[in-house]
Structure 1
Amino acid sequence: MLISETLAIGAAFCIAVSGMLIAELKGRVGVFRLARWQMLAALIMTGAVSLFLGGWRTLGLPQLGLLAASSLFGIIIASTTYFAAIYKAGPRNTALLFSLTSPFALTLGYVFLGETISRLQGLGVALVLAGIVMAIGSPGRGTARVPSAHVPWAGIALGVVTALGQAMGSLLARPAMAAGVEPFTAMAVRSGLAALVFVALTVLPFTAIIRPHQLSYRDLSLGIGSAFFGTFLGMSLLMAALAYGNVGIVSTLSSMTPVVILPMVWARTRVAPPATAWIGAMLAVAGTGFISLS
């Protein structure tokens, strides 16, 4: 297997691990506290690499504005709803709903950038939607956390907002990256601005709606670990894969998180996901492939 394909699958694996770690914090760490931990950790990690590479020299004022807007939608909003979706619907369903990012990005590119949508891409959108409906909406055996017979509507709504926010964040970041901004620097700017917002939110009372238990070293380790695997390592592997391989193939393989996470959920809960979960996840990945490879 070529190096780019290996890196892309590694990115999907890392993002799946991050989702599983976040799920372990349910009921113990509030969404805003977790977001604060993640963004501060991501800022330190990506900022250090950016300084080492001298990436700050690639950043101009126009790109800073685009990345700030990208941070608002892709991190500040999407990360908050992503964590909440995992808490409400579980990591398996959230990973599946994240597949909607590709259809949303395709639609936004069509509306705002005048990009065309081929028939194959339209089929891909239909497959993603069919896969999500099959995996989440069909009755059958569910996981120990989220029985599939009880559709987690609140979690689904949060997952949809996450995918839309990620798509908008990517759309806004695209011109900045095309202008030559170093990837780690872009992530440092986005996570840094998000960290600033989440730290500022600590003075507002609504951030304490979900009150965590007493802070423990294990909870902090899980929070930082999820940032390491998801934001830092997962994104780093994805950027490296894009540098070596075909964009469409890399995008498709890196979207395999809904499939990769199923064995992890099985091992953690000791309950096998239903057949519809496996079929739905594979349909969603296939749909993403049609969208990316067209």
Structure 2
Amino acid sequence: MISEILAVAAALCAALSSMFISELKGRVPLLQLARWQMTAAFVMTGLISLSIGGWRSVGLWQFGFLAASSFFGIAIASTTYFAAIYSVGPRITALLFSLTSPFALTMGYIALGETITFQQALGVAFVLCGIVLAIGTPRRFITRGSSAPAMPVITPSSIPVTVAPKPPLKGPLFPGVVLGVVTAFGQALGTLFARPAMASGVEPFTAMAVRSGLAALFFLAILALPIGRAGRAAFQPGALGLAIGSAFFGMVLGMSLLMAALHEGEAGIVATLSSITPVLILPMVWIRSREPPSRRAWFGAGLAVLGTALISI
């Protein structure tokens, strides 16, 4: 059971990383958070790679694929990931991140000619149903004040009363959902570009160091633009500590546990167990907000994990 325990621990690290990021809402702007986290991830994974000699496993063509993976999977996906957590919280963001498996499966079919079995197609349906079920249409998803004309209603006392029509389904939740979907798509695209390099034998920590290092350079270069300098917050040691902590749990410790799990166990089982973050994050949100998640949230998260299992195994 060692590989299974390691895979669950990796999912737990991903959940902790998301919770740390959610604590930075309103304290650290998105681009500043991205600079801090990518720089911290590069330093930590780079030191590990140097200690084990992993840099010798990267050639020029592997570097090119990892650079493309960094742009889509980290530079873009990480930014939208942070923005989604800021917008709709870690629970819904983790749930939307489950779309990475269906997106990766579809891209593998289109770009690499991989086959999709009935079981995998059923898994995609389960993931989609789980996300829709868990998110639903909460009240804050609905925006009041539609511009449509009011409709007269006749009461039993024959007194005309003006009632506003049912509002459209749009509002604060919609941008966060879009950001979460873009995150999953970018992550799947980054995985697609990284796959040839990893298959050729690139050491995992070295690959992560290359990807996070290039992303850190990208976010540092944005400082030359007005958008990169706008909204910068004053330095807060506690906020920096949370950013480094999220990088450590999400990209260093979590990745170490995942690599160890893959070394000891079957890839499909490890991929499934490491994707249970949407379930593990529910009690964390419960403890932090002191509000228990609904039964629909638990069932939807479990359904998304079951769909990922059907895709992976």
Give the structure-2-normalised TM-score.
Answer: 0.88
The match for 1:86 is 85
- After the TM superposition, which of the residue ranges 237-246 and 19-28 deviates more from structure 2? 237-246
Range 125-134 or range 235-244, more displaced:
235-244
**Aligned match of 2:305:** 285
Which residue number corresponds to residue 18 of structure 1?
17
Partner of 1:172: 193
Q: How does 1:210-225 map to 2 (within 5 A)?
A: 211-225=231-245
2:264 aligns to what? 244
In the alignment, the residues of structure 2 paired with residue 186 and residue 54 of structure 1 have an alpha-carbon distance, to the nearest angstrom, of 12
What is the distance in 1 between the residues matched to 2:140 and 2:278?
17
The answer on whether the counterparts of 1:50 and 1:184 sit within 8 Å (CA) in structure 2 is yes
| In 1, Cα distance between equivalents of 2:218 and 2:139 | 41
Q: Percentage identity across aligned positions?
A: 65
- Whether contact under 8 Å (1:70, 1:170) holds in the other structure is yes
2: CA distance between counterparts of 1:239 and 1:66?
Answer: 20
Contact 1:28 1:212 in 2 (8 A): no
Q: Give distance in 1, aligned partners of 2:272 and 2:112.
A: 22
Could you state the TM-score of these two structures normalised by the residue count of structure 1?
0.94
Partner of 2:125: 126
Structure 1 residue 136: Cα displacement: 0.7
Quick one: distance in 2 between partners of 1:11 and 1:212? 32
User: Take 1:157 and 1:236, find their aligned partners in 2: how far apart are those partners?
Assistant: 30
Q: 1:16-74: CA deviations, max 9, x gaps?
A: 00000000000110111000001100001000000000001111111000100000110
TM-superposed deviation, 1:269: 0.4
Alignment of 1:1-294 (within 5 A): 2-139=1-138, 152-209=173-230, 211-293=231-313
Counterpart for residue 145 of structure 1: none
More helix as a share of residues: 1
Alpha-carbon distance between aligned partners in 2 of 1:127 and 1:184, rounded to the nearest angstrom: 32
Q: Which structure has the bigger radius of gyration?
A: 2
Quote how far apart the aligned CAs of 1:237 are. Answer: 1.0
Query: Which sections of structure 1, spanning at least 5 residues, go unmatched?
Result: 143-148
Paired residue type of 2:97: F
SS in 2 for 1:285: helix
Q: Residue type of the partner of 1:188? A: A
- Alpha-carbon deviation of 1:151? 6.4
Contact 1:71 1:193 in 2 (8 A): yes
Contact 1:138 1:276 in 2 (8 A): no
Query: In the TM superposition, what is the alpha-carbon distance from 1:207 to its structure 2 partner?
Result: 2.7
Larger deviation, residues 131-140 vs 168-177:
131-140
Q: Figure out how many residues of one structure are paired with residues of the other and give that number.
A: 285
Q: 1:7 and 1:232, CA in 2 relative to 1: closer, same or farther beyond 3 A?
A: same
Contact kept, 8 Å, 2:140 with 2:172, in 1: the verdict is: no
* C-alpha contact 1:141 1:273 (8 A) present in aligned 2: no
